[in-house]
Structure 1
Amino acid sequence: MSERAVLEVIALDVEDAVAAQAGGADRLELVTDMAADGLTPSAATVTGVRRAVDIPLRVMLRLADGFAAGDVGRLVRVAAELRQAGAEEFVLGFLDAEGGVDLAAVERVVAALDGRPWTFHRAIDRAADRDALRKQLDGMPGLDTYLTAGSADGVDDGLSVLLAEAARQGEPGYEQRLLVGGGLRLDHVPALLKAGVGGFHIGGAARPEGWEAPVSADAVTRWRTALDAA
C-alpha cells in the first residue's frame, strides 16, 4: 500500500490551525505577513497553535521579504525563542546575491535547531542552479523536504521541472520529500502523484474568500478527499 500524500496548509493563527486540522491537514506551515510571502510568527502564536492542535507544524524562519538571510545572529536567537515556545519543526532557506545557497547562514541557523526537521522553502525556485543548491545541502542535519513550485512563477510553469526532479528521487541531493506549492491547483495533482510526489502545500486554495478570511475547513477537506481519491 502506498503512503498517503502529505497535505500541508499555511496557517497564520490559532483559528486557521484549528480549521486546517478539522479539514484533514497533516501538517501546518505557521507564518505571519503573507504580503511578504510569509515571515516568522511570534512565539506567542506558536504557543497558542501548539496548544490548540496536535498535528505537526513547521514554523517559518524568515525575518524580512526576499531570500537574503539578513541578521543571522538574530535568526539564531529567534529560533531558540521559538523552540522554547514549542516549535519542533521549521522552514527556512537563504540565497546569496548571486542566487546561490547562502551555505554559511543556513549552517548557522540549522545548528541552532539541534537536528530538528526542516523544509528548504521556495528560495529554491529563485536559485541560479537548483541542482547545485540541492547537492550543496545534501546531508544537512534535519533537512527532509523541499517546498517548490518548480519555477518562481508557479506550478503551471514549473510542472516539467517538478516531474523531472521527482524522477530523480533517491539520488544524492534528491532524497528529501518534494512538497509542491505555489499556484498549485487540484488539476495538477494526478500527474504529480503519478510521478511519485508525496507532499502538497496550499495557502490561498484553503481560503476561498481570500487572505483576509480564515482557512476554510471545507476547502481543506476537498483537497484531502481529492488526494486520497487520486
Structure 2
Amino acid sequence: MSKRAVLEVIALDAEDAVAARSGGADRLELVTDMAADGLTPSRETFAKIRDAVDIPLRVMLRLADGFSVGEPGGPDGVDALVDAARGMRAEGAEEFVFGFLDADGRPDLVTVERLVAELDDCRWTFHRAIDRASDRNALRLRLADMPGLDTYLTAGSPAGVDEGLPTLLAEAAASGWGEAGYEARLMVGGGLRLDHLPVLRSAGVDAFHIGGAARPAGWSGSVSAKAVRGWRDALDA
C-alpha cells in the first residue's frame, strides 16, 4: 500500500487554517495577496495562525509579484526579504517557501543563499518559480546541496498541471530512480484537479498543494473544511 500523501492547503488567516486542519490538511502554506499569487503575510497573521492550529506552517517569503527581486536595498529586494525572514523566525516560524530566478531564468543564487543563511537550516520549499526556469534540471542540480531544501512545488508548466503532466511524470520517475537533483520531494500544485490524482499517485507522487480548490466561493471566500475533506478522502482512497 502506498504511504499517506501530504496535503498542503493555502491559508490566508486563522479561519482558513482551522478549516483546512479540520478537513484533513497536513500542512499549510501561509500567504497574503493572492492577486499577486501569494506574498509574505504579516507577523501578526502568522502568530494568530500559529496559535490556532497544531500542524506545520510554511511561510511564503516573497514581497512582489513575479519571480525576481529588486535592488538589494529596495522595498522588495533581497535585503527586505532577509528582514522579512528574520522577523518570521523571531515570531517562531520554522518552515518557509520561496524561489527566485535571474533575468536568464536560472536560479537566483545570491538571493537564495542569503535567505538560506538567515534561516539556519529551516526546511523550505522552492516554489513554482521552477515552472518558469530556462532549464528545470539545471536548476535542480544547482540547488541540490542547499541546506533545508526538501520540496519543489510545481505544476510542471507555467500553464498548470494539464500541460505539465508529462514533465511531472518524468520528474517523479527521476525521483524514484534517485537521480542527482531529484532528492527533494515533488509536491504538485497549480491547476490541480481531483481527476489528476490517480495518474500522479500511480507515478509515486505523494504530496499535493491546493489553493482555490479548497474555496468553493473563490478567493473572496474562506477555506471549506468539506472541500478539503474531499481531497483528503480522494488521496486516502
Do these two structures clear the TM 0.5 threshold for a shared fold by scoring above it?
yes
1:122 alignment partner, one of 97, 108, 128: 128
2:221 alignment partner, one of 174, 192, 213: 213
CA deviations over 1:133-176 (Å, ceiling 9, x no partner): 00000110000000000000000000000000000012110001
2:196 alignment partner, one of 188, 202, 209: 188
Q: Which residue of 2 aligns with 1:37?
A: 37
Q: Does 1:160 align with 2:183?
A: no
Q: Distance in 2 between matches of 1:56 and 1:3?
A: 19
1:147 alignment partner, one of 141, 145, 153: 153
Moved over 4 A (4+): none
Q: Distance in 2 between matches of 1:89 and 1:51?
A: 16
> Following TM superposition, by how much is the alpha carbon of 1:69 offset from its aligned partner in structure 2, in angstroms?
2.4
Q: Which residue of 2 aligns with 1:12?
A: 12
CA deviations over 1:7-39 (Å, ceiling 9, x no partner): 000000000000000000000000000000000
> Following TM superposition, by how much is the alpha carbon of 1:3 offset from its aligned partner in structure 2, in angstroms?
2.0
What SS class does the counterpart of residue 167 from structure 1 fall into?
A: helix
CA deviations over 1:32-57 (Å, ceiling 9, x no partner): 00000000000001111000000001
What SS class does the counterpart of residue 153 from structure 2 fall into?
A: strand
Q: Which residue of 1 aligns with 2:115?
A: 109
Q: What is the letter of the counterpart of residue 69 of structure 1?
A: V
What SS class does the counterpart of residue 47 from structure 2 fall into?
A: helix
For normalisation by structure 2, the TM-score amounts to 0.96
What SS class does the counterpart of residue 168 from structure 1 fall into?
A: helix
> Following TM superposition, by how much is the alpha carbon of 1:198 offset from its aligned partner in structure 2, in angstroms?
1.1
Q: What is the letter of the counterpart of residue 198 of structure 1?
A: D
> Following TM superposition, by how much is the alpha carbon of 1:113 offset from its aligned partner in structure 2, in angstroms?
0.5
Q: Which residue of 1 aligns with 2:234?
A: 226
Aligned ranges 1:48-67 → 2 under 5 Å: 48-67=48-67
> Following TM superposition, by how much is the alpha carbon of 1:2 offset from its aligned partner in structure 2, in angstroms?
3.1
| CA-atom RMSD in angstroms | 0.7
What SS class does the counterpart of residue 29 from structure 2 fall into?
A: strand
What SS class does the counterpart of residue 174 from structure 2 fall into?
A: coil
2:187 alignment partner, one of 179, 186, 207: 179
Identity of aligned residues (%): 72
2:84 alignment partner, one of 52, 55, 78: 78
> Following TM superposition, by how much is the alpha carbon of 1:104 offset from its aligned partner in structure 2, in angstroms?
1.2
Count of residue pairs the alignment pairs up: 229
Q: What is the letter of the counterpart of residue 110 of structure 1?
A: V
1:137 alignment partner, one of 143, 153, 159: 143
Q: Distance in 2 between matches of 1:116 and 1:52?
A: 21
What SS class does the counterpart of residue 49 from structure 1 fall into?
A: helix
Gaps of 5+ in 1: none
Gaps of 5+ in 2: 71-76
